[in-house]
Amino acid sequence: MAIGSFVYQGSPQRVLFGSGTLSCLGEEVQRLGIRSALVVSGREQKSRAGEIARHLGSACRAVFTGAKMHTPVEITDEAMEIVARESIDGIVAVGGGSTTGLGKAIAFRTDLPQVVVPTTYAGSEMTNILGEIVAGSKKTRRDPKILPETVVYDVDLTLTLPAGLSATSGMNAIAHAVEGLYARDGNPILSILAEEGIRVLASALPRIAGNPTDKDAREDALYGACLCGTVLGGTSMALHHKLCHVLGGSFDLPHAETHAVVLPHATAYNASATPGAMTHVAQALAVSDAAGGLFDLAQSTGAPTALRDIGMPGDGLERAADLAIADPYWNPRPLDRTEIRALLDDAWHGRRPDPRKR
């Protein structure tokens, strides 16, 4: 088999994975030299943030529970006031992608060390990418300061994650791996991680939908999310993430749900230009058609499959198409405005991608 040349840059992150690993949090905070931590979360995780604050004891200086979806800079400004006032020297983030995003935004401004305790399958804790809302649109950036130093995965914390959110955040993670398979800076090492991440999540998510307390399925899903996040951390984003950033940032659509709806259609758009990647995805899903398989997976887990069902106005599709081709991310297939508009129409109606059209 011909491999060819490639570049792979390993992540300097420390990852703790297992059941009951939250008990190691104090040690990890101490290892990073954090003595005055700011614990951050969203409102839904307020009680968990309080639990972690008590667990840290004197190492916790303050708690901020105002994290919001898409990380508006105004929320980061609020948190930064606490950082300055309380002489914070480290961040402990507990929750999903919104909380992780806030911790990253603070770290980008301050270069403070971060410990992330994920409670969903977002996977963003494994990346040096920050997406935030600035003046009504979502902007993304990469920087070494953004990458969390330590991630503590505790399967026990995901056992109460609602089945619906499990499905959508899992599809969000799968999207990272799918795009990593055709990224211009991809490599064989990350491709192995991507296919395994998709395979494990595709197996786990329907089991969670059927039995949300299935601990083995929860463990598989969290492991898959870690792998998929690692892929995104090592590669660049393309059309799928651009569309989701446009829809989330400009139309305030829910982040994970948007990924679940858009992924099959962005995959179908790029299928003809990325046959090797499509083979990997199809193999991971045990299907013949990657895009259709992703749609069926979302549907089988109860995730939404139509943009109109998650708050996208039909009269916003024209603007969304314009924004998608303005300042575009690199993509393996050239962006065609007419076809992007058709893609969005299919996603709005919730049509299953048709391989015959491709």
Q: Give the pair of three-digit tokens for residue 203.
A: 């197996």
> Nearest 5°: CA angle at 126, between 161 and 34?
90
- Residue 36's pLDDT is 98
E-strand stretches of 56-199: 60-64, 90-95, 114-118, 129-134, 137-142, 150-154
CB count, 10 Å around CB of 212? 17
> Which CATH number is associated with domain 14-158?
3.40.50.1970
Distance CA 197, CA 185 (A): 18
User: Which pLDDT score is estimated for 88?
Assistant: 98
Tokens of 272: 């003809």
* Residue-wise DSSP of 313-352: -GGGHHHHHHHHHSSPPP-SS---HHHHHHHHHHHHHTPP
Task: Domain 163-357: give its CATH superfamily.
Answer: Dehydroquinate synthase-like - alpha domain (1.20.1090.10)
Choose among 111, 93, 119, 99: nearest CA to 28: 93
Q: Give residue limits of the domains in the chain.
A: 14-158, 163-357
Measure the CA–CA gap between 100 and 93, rounded to whole angstroms.
6
How does pLDDT run along the chain (358 residues), one tens digit per residue?
Answer: 577 788 878 889 999 999 999 999 999 999 999 999 999 999 999 999 999 999 999 999 999 999 999 999 999 999 999 999 999 999 999 999 999 999 999 999 999 999 999 999 999 999 999 999 998 888 899 999 999 999 999 999 999 999 999 999 999 999 999 999 999 999 999 999 999 999 999 999 999 999 999 999 999 999 999 999 999 999 999 999 999 999 998 999 999 999 999 999 999 999 999 999 999 999 999 999 999 999 999 999 999 999 999 999 999 999 999 999 998 899 999 999 999 999 999 999 999 998 777 5
d(CA 262, CA 255): 11
- Characterize the bridge pairing of strands 137-142 and 129-134: antiparallel
Residue 11, pLDDT score = 85
Locate tokens 């109606």: which residue? Answer: 349
Structure tokens at 177: 């791996």
Provide the strand spans (E) within 84-201. 90-95, 114-118, 129-134, 137-142, 150-154
Residue that has been written with the tokens 């005055």 in this structure: 36
pLDDT, position 137: 82
CA 331 – CA 184 distance, rounded (Å)? 8
- Quote the CA–CA distance of 7 and 36 in Å, as a whole number: 38
At residue 343, what is the residue type?
L
Q: Is the pTM of this model over 0.85?
A: yes
- Residue 205 and residue 220: Cα distance in Å, rounded? 9
Q: What residues contact 50, with CB distance under 8 A and at least 6 apart?
A: 63
